[in-house]
Each structure stands twice: as structure tokens, then as C-alpha cells.
A and B are shown apart, each in its own frame.
Chain A
Amino acid sequence: MFEELLDNYLRFLESLTVEHFIRLFWFYIFFEFMRYFLLEFFVLNLWKLSKLWNKKKYAQAKKEFHFEYPLVSIIIPGKNEGKHLYKLVQSLNEQTYKNTEIIVVDDGSDDDTPTIGRDLEKAGKLDVFIRNEVRGGKASGANTALRFTKGKYIVHLDADCSYDRDAIEKIIIPFYLDKDVAGVGGNVMVRNYDESLVTTLQAIEYYDTISIGRVVTSYLGIYRIISGAFGAFRADALEQVKGWDIGPGLDGDITVKLRKLGYKIKFEQEAVCLTSVPNTVKKLTRQRLRWDKSLIRFRVRKHKDVLIPNQAFSFLNFFAFLENITYNLLLNFKWYFYLGDMLVNYRSMLVNIIITNVLLYTLTNFFKFVVYSLYRARTNASYTYFLIYIPCMVFYFGYYLRVVRTIAYIQEFFFKQSYKDPWNPSKTSVHAKKMNL
């Protein structure tokens, strides 16, 4: 059986001409290989060169930052996050940059978070602990924290994360490199990468899409999402946009709001944060359904004006949106078109086409993972640990995530499911839905 399959496949390869190869694998060649390898690789090299080129400028910005020594307000909104708080404040109290204030908002927790928070506040481990008796949602929690801040810069963190000793310092320096920067995203890595296959695959995904992918989009000026787990903002810019709007997807939303005001958004690869990711397929699916819906809700619906030429039109914002919509939304459906194309026209070769696709993607993934290690600031685990899992990535990325994304888009586009997500209290979602927010 296997020998027959192998024989058949080798014959298929022998008969493959260049034209034939392009016809059969157009999706991989024109979209995946071009965008996610060639372009990425090219930009990464440009970025590396510019980093070397701007070494002095960076040192100067760092000096300026330390000379000014501004107060940095660290805000941590969350519900039932008490169990993570001690570890979190410990990693924050270890920071190399000391002029910080830590503000924790307990958004209507029903566990022992209030007790833990108050104890930490009394012990001086955090500066302000705010308890909202009634849950208002992540956005209102963050906005509550914002009211208590005094810093020039606001760093938004998730309670279940921990941070490199120099993370706060590293995430603030980009503001001194370019005065138009209003937001900087930190580099998020997976802490529990070895907990299960699901977490390992996510760790590889984060190395690729965050550690590398965001360097590329940031360099191109189209970086569009400052992760809620680790993001820094200029306080005056946040004041201009009046803080966060209702989620889910509020971190991407606020980034767009800042971009629309003409501010630049940057990614700082060296500001490292470790987070715990979902450890089962079920939990991961729920998380990704929520994340993916926000593309429809915010890009296609709430901020569709970015795509319309008007007085506030920005080419970069337009391009950022277009790239996002094209590669995530359209190509997602285009892939089904490709699948259909193959089914209709090359049904007899379908097995060989799938095998070739898997091999092509896997080879690319291996190559990317190894070569891109030269462009990553660091990893939190040995590279070799992940190598044996690379072959799984094609199924994770190419099939699992694509299917989840498709479901999310349909749910949101036709049923506005995100407004029903219990992640946000319904008392606020009902208004957001009514106002198309």
C-alpha cells in the first residue's frame, strides 16, 4: 500500500513541469511563499541592517529616556486573577526600570482576588488596588485603571503573564526613537510551551507570527495590534482616544484608534513577556474564535472608514487594513477556492497534491524556524526542542487554524456572535451591538 503510494508519488514528481507546478501550487507560490517567506525574509534583512545603522540613535534614545526618567504607570485589569498577582508583581518589582507605579483593577472578581490585592497593596508591592464590585468588562477595567495613573507612559499587562527584568525599559525606549510613536507592542512568548502538543504548537506559532511577523509589519509601518498582554502607550494619546472601547478585540481596536489619529505604532522584539496559552484544543478553539471575530467586527465593520478615501485618509492605515483583510479574510476563502479548483480539475492527483503541499509547507517551516533564529531576540526554550514538532505546523496552521478562522468569520459576519460572547458582560455588549461598535 505504502510502496504503491510512494511509487505513484515519485511518478507524479517526475512528470511535474514548471508550468504544471505553478498551476497546481499557485496558492502556495503566490500567496504563502511570496508573502510569508520572501517578503518577510527580505524585510527582516532590511530591519536587521537598519538596526545596525541606528545603533547610535538607539543608544541616544535610551540615554534620553534615563535622563528624563519618566513615571511609567503599569495597569493590570482583570477578573479572578488573584492567583497570578503575587508572581506578577514580583516580576514587576524586579524590573531594571524603577520609576513605575503598579495599578491593579479587580473587575468584579468572585474569588479571593480582593483579599490578595489589598494585602499586596498594604505590603507596598503594588501602588493602587481598585475593586469594582460589579463586573464591567476588560475595557472598563482598563479605563478605571487609567483614571488612577499619573505616569507619562501607560503599560497594559495581563495578570497571568510575567516579564523579563528589562521588559519595561525596553518597551518604553521606542517612544524616544520617534516622537510620533504612541503605542509599542511587546514580544509575547509562550511560558507553558511544554505542557501539551497544543501549547508547543502555539509556542512555534508565537515565535513566527509575533516575534518575527510583528517585526516585519512594524518595519513596514502596518503593525496593527498591540497585544493586551504587553503593550505600552503614551498617556496623552490614550487620553485623546478616551481609553479602550468594548471588546472582545479591544487591543486591536485601540491600536487602530491611535493609528487613525496619525500616531505610529511599533513592535519591540526585545521587550519580552511570557504568557500561558490554552492547553487544550477546546480552550484554544474558543480563544481563536473570539480573536478571529474581531477582524470582522473591527476591521470590516467598526473601522471600515479606514478603507474609504476621506480627509483623514492614511495610505499606511489603508495598506495595513488591506493587508490584514486580504491575507486573513480573503485568502482564507481563496484557499477553499484553491481546494475546489484542485477537486474539480485534478481530482485524480489530489493525494499527490496534498502530499506536495504538506512537504512544501513543512520545508518552508523548517527553513523559516532555523534561519529566523538569527533574527529573533531570544527564545525561552531550546530551538531543538521544537524541531520535531515543525511537521505538525502545517496541519495546525494550514488546516486547524484555517477552519477555526472560517467559522469565526461566518459567525461574526452573519450572526454578530461577538456581542454574545460572555467574555464581555452583556449589559455593555448590548449597547455596542446597537451602536455598531
Chain B
Amino acid sequence: MAELKVNREESLVEFAGFKFLLINPEDGLSVEKVQFHNAVIIDGNDRAFIRQIVRRIRSDNQPDIYLKPIFILKGININDPFVNKLVDGTLFSLDQIELIIPEVERILTKTKDLHFTNSLSFEAQMIEKTISFMYTCEIQDLEPIPYIYSSNNYSYPILSVNFRQRDEHIALDILEIAEREGIFDSSYIDRIYLCPSCQGGHLTYREVCPKCGSSNSTTEDIIHHFPCAYVGPLSDFTNEIDDQLDCPKCNKRLRHIGVDYDKPSVLHECKACDHKFQDFNVKAKCLACTTDNLVEQLKGKEIRKYSLTKKGELAAINGFVSTSKDIEEIIGTVKFETFVTMLKYEIERLRQTEGASNICAVHLSNPSQIYSKMGSEVQKVLLKDLVKVIRSNIRSSDIISFQSSSTIILSMNEIPTRIAKRILSEIIDMLKRLIATTFKDIDVEFEYEVIKLDYKLSPQLHIQQLTKAFG
């Protein structure tokens, strides 16, 4: 029987040749170590902490982080359906670790089947992430869950985890694209209505005055007295002496509804503008952006259950390259595979010359927000502009590539790291200025990193190190 080794200092649990990263609240929220382990065990009773860690891992862009199996220790009851869909199991104690080994083994084996394409299209990247995860976890259906913390009220945890709460509506667009590409089949579940301003689904429906939009109003029945044709609100007929109704026009007592009077309609009176009306307008106030929308203006979206097709399964294995939404190669850049090959040669050269070369990365830390505001067409323009600025500030012998739609990597050969850092810092300033002038309403956040090439390390390890800090 395999021996269980627990090293709490290094957050490491070893069993049967598998290395588990043991994460507990004291270690903070850092997840970059995940890639060096076979699976993750989250230790702790703090539900908020568990939720955050799970979200961090599953929303990471690197497959060797986001695809790792996750287990929760101590088996606390996770009420959050969103988190439940993203973890692979629970353990009551580490002694039970043997029970999860088959699951870990299965997921890791299936992960080995996968190839990734490093598409520049944000949508393609998200689709690839989703179907890869579904493949490794053997999930056939992507089911929406009613989820109060989702801005749409429905969530597809595997996909939605990549977005901030208020950008979750993008998941619906991406799933529509994936269906068009033949990755998914779908069936109808429900229909939701979203705010046309911010796409939020947290709406409060109110009956409002058709004139001023206020919801502060009073309502009274209207009475029609047959003998004299007097029409007025109920209060006109009530007298102060008894509960009887007397007509203010002819002084006759109202006795029998349908015989001497009826109530043909109601009268609403707005307390804000005194407008009298019969039919309210129904408005939906968005709790996220406070826009008050007429219900006719709301954006209707179907919530569907998506099932992975055969094509989808193959796309998960071979890497998904969208036929319609992918961004073609951007001028001034090389393909990621080419970049890795050239990096390999540069490392080889350094082994012999002991020179100083560097690789750098510029990362857009809020890609889902940018996509949410721009859409893929404008995003493409943004990426082209960024590359243009970078290209004009580095030497022509240096090369640029995209690791993903949000991470640009570049080489800076034969210059000291200190200088490379300074150049990159200046480039970042220029990029920020470009954003401020050209894409005014969009908040783009940058992170950047420079590392010196070490001929002892492989190209892949260099890239891992370079991008490990980007979430």
C-alpha cells in the first residue's frame, strides 16, 4: 500500500506517485504553484475562501492550471451550486486520498489527449477552455444553473467562471457561437431578459406613472352611478357618517352593484406629478446600472442546455480553431509555435555565447471586460494597434507573438535585462496613452513581465515562468 506523505510547510501531499497541492487560507490565494502538481486539495472551512480559490484555478488561462482536479478537504457542505460544478470531489480526511486517485488518474490521462491552438480569438479561447474541461471531466452537457450571484440569473459554471459577475452575459454569446460552429447541440430551458445598457439580468419590475415614471401612486375604483351618470372615484361616494355610498351628484344611496351602479375601471393617481391614469407602464429597473427600461426595450435571451457534439469532442482533443470568429494573424507577429522554436534556438545560442537575452510579456488583465465592451471586431483593432506600438519600439530582429488573445510575448535579445525592463515599461506607458486617446470608454489594465533567458531551462519553462503571475 502506498504511503501518504504530508508536508504542510511546502503545502505538498504525496500519494501513489501523485503530488497534491494542499491549499489552505494561510497560504493566501496564489494559484501559480498548481501547474507543478497533479491535483489540488483545498483545506479549510471558509466557504468564501474555497469559492475564490476554485474560481482562480478554473478561470486561469493555462491548461495545466485550469484543468487540474480539485478536491475539498473536510467535506464541508458547499451550498454554492456554482462551486459544486467546478470541483471534482470531497475528502473527509487525507486518509481517504486513495479514493480519489482513480479520478485524478482519469482526468490527467484525458488531459494528455488534448492539444491547444493558442487562438487569438477570445471566443475561440473560451470555447476551447470549456470543451477541454468538459472532455477531461467527461461532462457531456453544459447545463445552466439558476444562480443568484450571476448577473444573468443563470450560470454555466465551467464557462461563466472566466468572467466577472457583471460580464457573464458574454457566456451566452460565446455559447451561441459555439453552437453555430457545430461544437454544441442545444435545447431550450428558459428565457431571460437583460438590461439593454449593461446586459444585467437583475431587474426590478415596477408599475410606474406613464407620464413621469414614478412608482409612487394611489389606486381607487371608479364608480359609475346609473341614474345620473355620475362617474368618480370611490372616495367621492363615501360619506363620513356611515359606511354607505351616496352619490355626490344626485344624493341617492348606492345600493346594489350591477343594478344601480358599477365599477367600470380604476383610477391611479401619481403622487409625484398628479397625473391620473388607468394603465401603468411597466418598467424594469436594472439593479446594476440603475437604468429604468421599458419592458419592451429589454433584451430577450434564451437559456439553453448545450450538449457536446462529436465535432465538439474532436475539437476538444485537437484544439479548437473557430472558422468564423478567429482572428487572423496580425502583421508584425509570428505564430506562437514559431516563437517557441526561435526561443529554443536563442537558448541554444546563449549556451555557447553566455550573452544576455530576455523574453517579455504584456498581458491584458481584464480581457473579458474588454471583450464585453468592444466585441471581437474592435478588440481586433485594439490588438493590432498594440502590436504596432510595440513593433515600432523594439529592434527589427526581436519578434512578437501572441500566447493568447490577452497575452503578447516578445523577445529582446542581446540587451541587459535592466534595459529591457525599462524599454518595456516605456512601451506600457505608450500603450496606456494609446488606449486613453483611441479607446476612451474602455478601461484596459496591463501587466507586464521580463525574464532573463537561462540556458539551463527549456523554452516552455521560460514561458511558464514569464506568464505565471498573470491570472
Residues of B contacting A430 with CB < 8 Å? 226
* CB <8 Å contact, B264 and A147: no
Residues of B contacting A163 with CB < 8 Å? none
* CB <8 Å contact, A242 and B248: yes
* CB <8 Å contact, A134 and B264: yes
**Segment touching A, from B95-103, B113-121, B161-169, B271-279:** B271-279
A133 lies within 8 A of chain B by Cβ: yes
* CB <8 Å contact, A133 and B265: yes
Closest to B227 in A: A431
* CB <8 Å contact, A136 and B264: yes
A128 lies within 8 A of chain B by Cβ: yes
Q: Mark A229-248, 1 if CB is under 8 A from B, else 0.
A: 00000000000001111100
**A147 in complex: contacting residue of B226, B229, B231, B259, CB < 8 Å:** B231
With A129-B278, A131-B278, A431-B260 as given contacts, are A144 and B228 in contact (CB-CB < 8 Å)? Answer: no
- Closest Cβ–Cβ distance, residue A31 to chain B (whole Å): 37
Cα distance A150–B260 in the bound complex, in angstroms? 28
8 A Cβ contacts from A86-143 to B: 108, 118, 121-122, 128-134, 136-137, 139-140, 143
* CB <8 Å contact, A134 and B231: no
* CB <8 Å contact, A242 and B227: no
- Closest Cβ–Cβ distance, residue B289 to chain A (whole Å): 24
Cα distance A130–B222 in the bound complex, in angstroms? 11
* CB <8 Å contact, A245 and B229: yes
Interface residues on B, range: 20 to 34
Residues of A contacting B233 with CB < 8 Å? 147
Residues of A contacting B227 with CB < 8 Å? 246, 428, 431-432, 434-435, 437
**A144 in complex: contacting residue of B249, B258, B265, B274, CB < 8 Å:** B265
A427 lies within 8 A of chain B by Cβ: yes
Closest to B259 in A: A427
B292 lies within 8 A of chain A by Cβ: no
B267 lies within 8 A of chain A by Cβ: yes
Cα distance A143–B249 in the bound complex, in angstroms? 12
Residues of A contacting B224 with CB < 8 Å? 132, 136, 140, 143-144
* CB <8 Å contact, A132 and B210: no
* CB <8 Å contact, A244 and B229: yes
* CB <8 Å contact, A242 and B230: yes
* CB <8 Å contact, A132 and B228: no
* CB <8 Å contact, B278 and A136: no
- Closest Cβ–Cβ distance, residue A154 to chain B (whole Å): 14
Residues of B contacting A190 with CB < 8 Å? none
With A147-B222, A428-B226 as given contacts, are A243 and B231 in contact (CB-CB < 8 Å)? Answer: yes
- Closest Cβ–Cβ distance, residue B316 to chain A (whole Å): 49
Cα distance A432–B229 in the bound complex, in angstroms? 9
- Closest Cβ–Cβ distance, residue A78 to chain B (whole Å): 14
* CB <8 Å contact, B265 and A132: yes
A189 lies within 8 A of chain B by Cβ: no
Q: Mark B245-289, 1 if CB is under 8 A from A, else 0.
A: 000110000000011101011010000001011110000000000
Closest to B258 in A: A427
B367 lies within 8 A of chain A by Cβ: no
* CB <8 Å contact, B228 and A242: yes
Residues of B contacting A130 with CB < 8 Å? 265, 278
* CB <8 Å contact, B231 and A143: yes
With A144-B224, A242-B248, A431-B260 as given contacts, are A131 and B276 in contact (CB-CB < 8 Å)? Answer: no
Cα distance A137–B276 in the bound complex, in angstroms? 22
With A130-B278, A136-B224, A148-B276 as given contacts, are A243 and B229 in contact (CB-CB < 8 Å)? Answer: yes
B232 lies within 8 A of chain A by Cβ: yes
Cα distance A144–B265 in the bound complex, in angstroms? 9
**A140 in complex: contacting residue of B229, B248, B274, CB < 8 Å:** B229
- Closest Cβ–Cβ distance, residue B196 to chain A (whole Å): 18
Cα distance A146–B267 in the bound complex, in angstroms? 12
- Closest Cβ–Cβ distance, residue B313 to chain A (whole Å): 50
Cα distance A253–B442 in the bound complex, in angstroms? 69
* CB <8 Å contact, B230 and A132: no
Cα distance A147–B233 in the bound complex, in angstroms? 8
Cα distance A132–B228 in the bound complex, in angstroms? 17
8 A Cβ contacts from A396-437 to B: 427-428, 430-432, 434-435, 437
* CB <8 Å contact, A136 and B276: no
Cα distance A108–B258 in the bound complex, in angstroms? 15
Q: Mark A48-85, 1 if CB is under 8 A from B, else 0.
A: 00000000000000000000000000000000000000
**B249 in complex: contacting residue of A128, A150, A242, A431, CB < 8 Å:** A242
With A121-B210, A130-B265, A242-B248 as given contacts, are A136 and B279 in contact (CB-CB < 8 Å)? Answer: no
Residues of B contacting A432 with CB < 8 Å? 227
Residues of B contacting A121 with CB < 8 Å? 210, 279
Residues of B contacting A144 with CB < 8 Å? 222, 224, 231, 264-265
- Closest Cβ–Cβ distance, residue B212 to chain A (whole Å): 13
- Closest Cβ–Cβ distance, residue A174 to chain B (whole Å): 27
Looking at B224, B249, B260, B277, the one whose CB has the most chain A CB atoms below 10 A away is B224
* CB <8 Å contact, B231 and A118: no
* CB <8 Å contact, A146 and B276: no
* CB <8 Å contact, B229 and A129: no
* CB <8 Å contact, B264 and A431: no
With A132-B265, A144-B264 as given contacts, are A431 and B226 in contact (CB-CB < 8 Å)? Answer: yes
What are 23 A-B pairs at a CB distance below 8 A? A129-B278, A131-B278, A131-B279, A133-B265, A136-B226, A136-B229, A136-B262, A140-B231, A144-B231, A144-B265, A146-B231, A147-B267, A148-B276, A150-B274, A242-B230, A242-B249, A243-B229, A243-B249, A427-B258, A427-B259, A427-B262, A431-B226, A431-B227
Having A147-B276, A246-B229, one finds 17 other A-B pairs with CB under 8 Å, namely: A121-B279, A132-B265, A140-B231, A144-B231, A144-B264, A147-B231, A150-B274, A243-B229, A243-B231, A243-B249, A246-B228, A428-B229, A431-B227, A432-B227, A435-B227, A437-B227, A437-B228
Give me the 5 closest cross-chain CB pairs, A-B, nearest first: A139-B229, A431-B227, A132-B264, A143-B231, A242-B249
